[in-house]
Amino acid sequence: MSAQLVNVIDVEATCWTGQPPAGQVNQIIEIGLCVVDLTTRQRVASRGILVRPSRSRVSAFCTELTSLTQADVDAGVSFAEACASLVGEEDSAHRVWLSWGDYDRKQFHNDCRGSGVAYPFGRHVNLKAAYTDAYQLRRRPGMAQALQHAGLPLEGRHHRGVDDARNIAALLLRMLADGHDPLAAPPTG
């Protein structure tokens, strides 16, 4: 039986305590990725791609939240290179991709428009919405709340893309183990 792979993605972007400084916009600075094999129901690979923003700088607030510094992201790749890596190495145009909420999808669209880069993904599943529906929750939980609800530990550092992607993948695997298949349902927003 061949593997059926999906990409779980979590992005971190430049952020501030209030509005962005004049001339700056939110931009992706880390793409966290965890590849899940749906056949074996295992996380088979994970990595973080640091992205060098072109129209913003990492604030002290952003560093406190994510641990990423301007020096860290200055050593990263361009957004175009990051997208090319997702398409070439992770087959992102053909694999279903999942994120916790719709923020990641919207941020990718914004950065693609702002950079003139082709959108690197195919079908998206909002796992936050699917989780809420599957467990009939009254409110959509944050990722850390969902981990508590599922009885799963928070692995790594919250608000680091690679760690959050691994945690979101753990929630996907829990849903599948509990008989809920978010990929069988129509895409949710």
What is the arithmetic mean of pLDDT over 79-103? 97
- At 73 the three-state DSSP class reads helix
What mean pLDDT, rounded, does the chain reach?
A: 96
Q: How confident is the model at residue 185 (pLDDT cuts 50, 70, 90)?
A: low
- What's residue 1's pLDDT? 52
- What's residue 57's pLDDT? 97
Q: Give per-residue pLDDT as tens, 13-61.
A: 999 999 999 999 999 999 999 999 999 999 999 999 999 999 999 999 9
- At 67 the three-state DSSP class reads coil
Do the beta carbons of residue 42 and residue 138 sit within 8 Å? no
- What's residue 6's pLDDT? 98
The dihedral region occupied by 177, where left means phi > 0, alpha psi between -120 and 50, and beta the remainder, is: alpha
CA dist 94 to 10, 87, 167, 173, Å? 18, 9, 23, 21
In this predicted structure, the answer to whether residue 116 has a pLDDT above a threshold of 80 is: yes
In this predicted structure, the answer to whether residue 95 has a pLDDT above a threshold of 70 is: yes
Q: How confident is the model at residue 5 (pLDDT cuts 50, 70, 90)?
A: very high
| Minimum mean pLDDT range among 61-65, 92-96, 121-125, 183-187 | 183-187
In this predicted structure, the answer to whether residue 188 has a pLDDT above a threshold of 90 is: no
User: Domains in the chain and their CATH numbers?
Assistant: 5-177 (3.30.420.10)
- What's residue 133's pLDDT? 96
What is the arithmetic mean of pLDDT over 150-163? 98
pTM of the predicted structure, to 2 decimals: 0.95
**SS3 for 76-140, per residue?**
CECHHHHHHHHHHHHCCCCCCEEECCCHHHHHHHHHHHHHCCCCCCCCEEEHHHHHHHHCCCCCC
**Token pair belonging to 132:** 């809420």
Say what percent of the chain tops pLDDT 70: 96
- What's residue 35's pLDDT? 98
Distance CA 39, CA 58 (A): 39
- Please tell me what DSSP assigns to residue 47: E
In this predicted structure, the answer to whether residue 91 has a pLDDT above a threshold of 80 is: yes
- At 28 the three-state DSSP class reads strand
